Structure 1
Amino acid sequence: MDVPSGTPAGTPTPGPGDPRIARLSLNQWTTREWSLREAVEGCVRAGLPAIGLWRDKVADAGLAESAKLVREAGLRVSSLCRGGFLTAREPVARTEAIADNQRAIEEAAALEAACLVLVVGGLPAGDRDLPGARERVAEALAELAPYAGAHGVRLALEPLHPMYCADRAVLSTLDQAIDLAEPHPVGQVGVVVDAFHVWWDPYLPAAIARAGERIASFQVCDWVLPLPADNLLARGMMGDGVIDFRSMAAAVEAAGYVGDIEVEIFNADVWAAPGDAVVDTLKRRYVTEILG
């Protein structure tokens, strides 16, 4: 996992205070076995300035305690994952989804998160109406965006790779996410550029430029082959796969994004490795594969 093809074996690990990692964030799911406290402490040891939090880990620690831990550690919260799953047709399920997203917005506000990531949901069981599902997402956003704005929270629509369209996200391209975001104020609804999900899109450079100030989060990990049986665990460490991160990062920067760059990896081997070793590796790979 440590040295990808073409990367010098002797690349030193950036230490605390290294200006090259001033925008680097650890998404909590990359070191899934760590509790929130352990992840915060790991970021501090590594000199990382930011962390991306997950709601289940926050719930385990308690919202007030989570906010206190992050604040006292001096970390930024680059994102809170996740809200969404807004495609239900049945009225009770739709009402429950809206209520859960409102709670997520309140949590993001308490954590002072830069954004609340929304994975919008797939097709309901037995449903084949893809345009209808996307329309229900748009209707839900019309309710949630003002609520987010009132709480000082920015929603961030995350398009997922098309292989997740049926069960997780009926938004598959960055352009589709921008289309849904544009009716709302920029401060209320933005988009996520997640390298794993959008690297394949031939229209990606133009979509990133179009997104501009709508970019609320930039997440990175690699696309590795062969894909595992569980395609949720197909994400690899940067440099282990096929994604051209440097050109994507340059496009995101040219679009005006100045926020944190978050490493989010779902991978059984990464999860099994010691957390500090994973963080050391991702710091080196961030420098060699993204900053160049």
Structure 2
Amino acid sequence: MRDLSADAFLRYLSLNTGTVRAQDDLLSIMEAAQRHGISVISPWRDQVAAVGLDRVVAAVRDGGFSLSGYCRGGLFPADAAHRAEVRDDNRRAVDEAAALGAPCLVMVVGGLPHLSRPGSAPSTDIALSRTQVADGIAELLDYARAADMPLALEPLHPMMAPERSCLCTLRQALDLCDAIDPERSGGLGIALDVYHVWWDFEVMPQIERMGADRMLAFHVCDWLVPTTSVLSGRGMMGDGIIEIRKLRGAVEALGFDGACEVEVLSDDWWARPLDEVLSVMVERYRTAC
């Protein structure tokens, strides 16, 4: 297991830029990251769109940045009137990720159609949502493989099933990978976020089942007790109850050598100064991850 406390150059630390999305635009966030010695990021599509893809591509190149992922594609469930829009939007996400040099496109697959895609007809058929997710990923995978862009399925906490993801456990995500890509021919895997899987009694054997070839991204933060919001009440590493090192040890035992991507979506941390958040994040990376 890697000793992050000795990682003087922060080689294995990635800033998911959603962690400081409220403080400034993406280009300013990248400048702040450089001040703190952070050279790996995972930006969100809306942040890229706000300043322009070409400007971000140039900033990544000129600033010597690399990416640990790109957030996000998915949200597949939709009524018939919106399915072409979903397909086209996900293909654009693949193209953007490729332009930025991301190693994977993180997929938040979506929940009920009208909650995932505004304007879709109301539905409570979550089984249909799962079918649409499987069909959508299978179709997108061909396009993504042509662009050499792996798709990283991110299972989310079950409380996010209605709006964000009917894929709620690592077992579900791996079952879907095996159904779509039984030969493990590449291009489809997992983004494992400790916030979403820490509670799952099957998570350790499912990590072992996953294997190195399906392990594409590793996200860290903490679960606060009490939590004020499942969406925006995350804690900084070390402030909650997740066994982060145990989970990191399990994925590194597979051979995973990628970044620890810090994704703290938090009303509390969004209200703090940008440099304060990054300073604490670096310290907790070394002491709590």
Taking structure 2 as the reference length, what is the TM-score of the superposition?
Answer: 0.91
Query: 2:119 corresponds to which residue?
Result: none
Query: 2:143 corresponds to which residue?
Result: 147
Structure 1 position 127 matched with structure 2 position 100: no
Q: Please say if residues 14 and 39 of structure 2, whose CA atoms lie closer than 8 Å, have aligned partners that are also in contact.
A: yes
Q: Please say if residues 221 and 263 of structure 1, whose CA atoms lie closer than 8 Å, have aligned partners that are also in contact.
A: yes
Structure 1 position 100 matched with structure 2 position 96: no
Moved more, 217-226 or 39-48: 39-48
Moved more, 235-244 or 121-130: 121-130
| SS state at 2:249 partner | helix
Structure 1 position 79 matched with structure 2 position 75: no
Distance in 1, Cα, partners of 2:54 & 2:159: 37
Shift in Å, 1:132: 2.1
Which runs of 4 or more aligned residues in structure 1 lie more than 6 Å from their structure 2 counterparts after TM superposition? none
Distance in 2, Cα, partners of 1:281 & 1:227: 20
Shift in Å, 1:258: 1.1
C-alpha deviations, 1:230-264, integer Å up to 9, x for none? 43112110011110111000001012211111000
| SS state at 1:233 partner | coil
C-alpha deviations, 1:73-116, integer Å up to 9, x for none? 1111111111110012x222111111100000000010011111
Distance in 2, Cα, partners of 1:202 & 1:236: 22
Query: 1:10 corresponds to which residue?
Result: none
Distance in 2, Cα, partners of 1:285 & 1:122: 33
Q: Please say if residues 233 and 268 of structure 2, whose CA atoms lie closer than 8 Å, have aligned partners that are also in contact.
A: no
Shift in Å, 1:67: 0.6
Task: Report the identity percentage.
Answer: 44
Distance in 2, Cα, partners of 1:208 & 1:56: 31
> What stretches of structure 2 of length at least 5 have no aligned partner?
115-121
Query: 1:69 corresponds to which residue?
Result: 59
Shift in Å, 1:180: 1.4
Q: Please say if residues 122 and 169 of structure 1, whose CA atoms lie closer than 8 Å, have aligned partners that are also in contact.
A: yes
Q: Please say if residues 25 and 263 of structure 1, whose CA atoms lie closer than 8 Å, have aligned partners that are also in contact.
A: yes
Q: Please say if residues 224 and 236 of structure 1, whose CA atoms lie closer than 8 Å, have aligned partners that are also in contact.
A: yes
Taking structure 1 as the reference length, what is the TM-score of the superposition?
Answer: 0.90
Q: Please say if residues 186 and 214 of structure 1, whose CA atoms lie closer than 8 Å, have aligned partners that are also in contact.
A: no
Correspondences of 1:1-292 after superposition (within 5 Å): 18-19=8-9, 21-32=10-21, 33-88=23-78, 90-125=79-114, 126-182=122-178, 183-184=180-181, 185=184, 187-212=186-211, 213-228=213-228, 230-290=229-289
Distance in 2, Cα, partners of 1:208 & 1:131: 25
C-alpha deviations, 1:132-169, integer Å up to 9, x for none? 21111111111100100111111111100000011110
Q: Please say if residues 150 and 187 of structure 2, whose CA atoms lie closer than 8 Å, have aligned partners that are also in contact.
A: yes
Residue 72 of structure 2 aligns to which amino acid in structure 1? R
Distance in 2, Cα, partners of 1:243 & 1:204: 13
| SS state at 2:112 partner | coil
Residue 169 of structure 2 aligns to which amino acid in structure 1? T
Shift in Å, 1:186: 5.1
Q: Please say if residues 234 and 267 of structure 1, whose CA atoms lie closer than 8 Å, have aligned partners that are also in contact.
A: yes
Residue 162 of structure 2 aligns to which amino acid in structure 1? A
Shift in Å, 1:272: 1.1
Q: Please say if residues 146 and 188 of structure 1, whose CA atoms lie closer than 8 Å, have aligned partners that are also in contact.
A: no
Shift in Å, 1:189: 1.2
Distance in 2, Cα, partners of 1:285 & 1:231: 21
Query: CA distance change for structure 1 residues 262 and 280 in 2, over 3 Å: closer, same or farther?
Result: same
Q: Please say if residues 76 and 110 of structure 2, whose CA atoms lie closer than 8 Å, have aligned partners that are also in contact.
A: yes
Shift in Å, 1:227: 2.0
Q: CA RMSD in A?
A: 1.5
Residue 241 of structure 1 aligns to which amino acid in structure 2? G
> What stretches of structure 1 of length at least 5 have no aligned partner?
1-13
C-alpha deviations, 1:25-75, integer Å up to 9, x for none? 000011112211111112211111200101111111111110110111111
Shift in Å, 1:194: 0.2
Residue 214 of structure 1 aligns to which amino acid in structure 2? R
| SS state at 2:257 partner | coil
| SS state at 1:71 partner | helix
